[in-house]
A and B are shown apart, each in its own frame.
Chain A
Amino acid sequence: GDSVTQMEGPVTLSEEAFLTINCTYTATGYPSLFWYVQYPGEGLQLLLKATKADDKGSNKGFEATYRKETTSFHLEKGSVQVSDSAVYFCALSATNAGNNRKLIWGLGTSLAVNP
């Protein structure tokens, strides 16, 4: 079945460091890919998305490129801030028949950014 694998955390960085959180997936067909972020004590927010191969999603300085050849959607940011401390979830939207829009989730990667 469809699945998402994220790098395990926690990830601890200093402010202004470069961030990469790896995400790979297995899926039949052509899923859409998402990164969600969960700040402490809050619900999930969509960070960025990509709907087809080679698409690049970007938001708030974060980027991820949909790589079909490597089945990856790694999240990157050139210079992290303390306010980026959160849990990041990679997810895919299954494209099976019918209207089922269940998201398949990675287990999340906790990021802590120190000043």
Chain B
Amino acid sequence: GEEVAQTPKHLVRGEGQKAKLYCAPIKGHSYVFWYQQVLKNEFKFLISFQNENVFDETGMPKERFSAKCLPNSPCSLEIQATKLEDSAVYFCASSQTSDRKSSPLHFGNGTRLTVT
């Protein structure tokens, strides 16, 4: 597609439950990024992929967070045993490979996760 599609738009989970978020990057884009927006303005990088390979996962809380980008499937971000502090808007972004330095990221509209 021509835009990054994230689903669901809203997700509510009780503390300790699992949450799974999906992202379909723009067709032809090889890089996928996940960001977490906890406070109104602050973005935290979580993980990036080049195709199905993890590229940088330095931002991931590895104990409970995992992510995948499999061929012919939307990318996913999964949180096992959610905690209250996981409440945030999770943004996915994709970019092309042809110009690594300046190829802009195209963002989805985000998934708002609320942990109660």
Contact = CB atoms under 8 A, between A and B. Distances in A.
Interface of A: 32, 34, 36, 42-46, 49, 51, 87, 89, 93, 95, 99-103, 105, 107-110
B48 A46 contact: no
Contact of B33 (A102, A107, A110): A102
- B: interface residue count bin: 20 to 34
Q: In the complex, which of the residues A46, A99, A109 has the most CB atoms of chain B within 10 Å of its own CB atom?
A: A99
A101 B100 contact: yes
Nearest to B95: A101
B62 interface: no
A6 to B, nearest CB: 9
Given A101-B31, A107-B41, A110-B41, A51 B101 contact: yes
A27 B71 CA distance: 35
Q: Is the interface of A mostly helix, strand, loop or mixed?
A: strand
Given A34-B104, A44-B91, A108 B42 contact: yes
B102 A100 contact: no
B45 to A, nearest CB: 5
